Every structure is written in C-alpha cells, then in structure tokens.
Amino acid sequence: MKVDEFRKADETLQRRRNKIDELRARKKANPTKVPKPRPKRQFPKNGSNTSFKSPDRTSKSPMRGGRPKSYSVGDIVKLADMPAYQLPGGLSNGQAVTVSRIEFPRVFVRDDSGREWDLFLANIDSGMDYRVKGRWVPSKW
C-alpha cells in the first residue's frame, strides 16, 4: 500500500517538474518585453517650469491660478466674516485694518480709531496674488 502511495506522489512531482521546465523553456523562447519609460514633461528651454501648459488646458488666458497674498506686521488687510469665526461687534465685513501682531492662530489688528482686536487667521482677507505671464502679481482690492 505504501509503495503505491510513494509511486503516485513521485509521478505527481515529476509532472510538476516537467511543467515548470516547459514554462521556463517557453519564457526563454519568448522573453517578456520591458515597458518603455514614460516621457518626461517638456519644460521651456529658459529653465522656468512655471509656464508649462498641460495638453488638456483649452483656456488661452494668460492668467492662471492664484494664491493667498502673504502679509506681515504693519500691512493693511481687510476683514472677512466667516460662519465659524464671527467678527466682534465693533468690526464689519470688508473693513480695512492694520496688522499689529501675529501669534498663530491669532492675529491682533488695529482699526482706524486705534483700538486693538484679537481675531482668528480665518478672519483676515489679505487679497490674492495671481500668476500672469509667468509672474506673481498682487491683486488690487
């Protein structure tokens, strides 16, 4: 009984070995093709990658996306009334104020009367900078 079991197991192993050898021979006869590397993005020759236009853009406008304008102490900014961060009673939406101190996430501002207010960063609207023909241009409120 055991001799028959060993013979069957040996035959099974031999079939598996033959199949593996057959697959290896096929692979050597037909080597797999190596995929070509993806082409790199082509940027202008002047070294500036900021004016790259992807093929899916159909707009011919020279103005591209914007970013929030940075501000520092002494700059004049406008206030924005946000639903989550309401402005205090004496300030209104769009009012121009001067930044007196920045302590993340708070900003201390002075209004025209000289009174100092403690606000969240979300309440400050410093304007936007826009990309126009490869240069960042500040917005004018």
> What dihedral do alpha carbons 19, 24, 27, 28 form, nearest 10°?
-140
Residue 66 pLDDT exceeds 60: yes
Lowest mean pLDDT among 37-41, 104-108, 122-126, 129-133: 37-41
Name the amino acid, one letter, at 115.
R
Q: What is the pLDDT of residues 76-104, one digit of tens each?
A: 999 999 888 999 999 999 999 999 999 98
Q: Which helix (H) or strand (E) holds 128?
A: strand 128-132
Please give the pLDDT value at position 43. 56
Residue 110 pLDDT exceeds 90: yes
Both tokens assigned to 55: 């093929």
The predicted model scores a pTM of: 0.51
Q: What is the pLDDT of residues 129-141, one digit of tens each?
A: 888 888 888 877 5
Domain ranges of the chain: 64-138
Candidates 2.30.30.140, 3.10.450.50, 3.30.460.80, 3.40.50.720; correct CATH number of 64-138?
Answer: 2.30.30.140
Q: Both ends of the chain: CA-CA distance in Å?
A: 96
Section 49-63 average pLDDT:
46
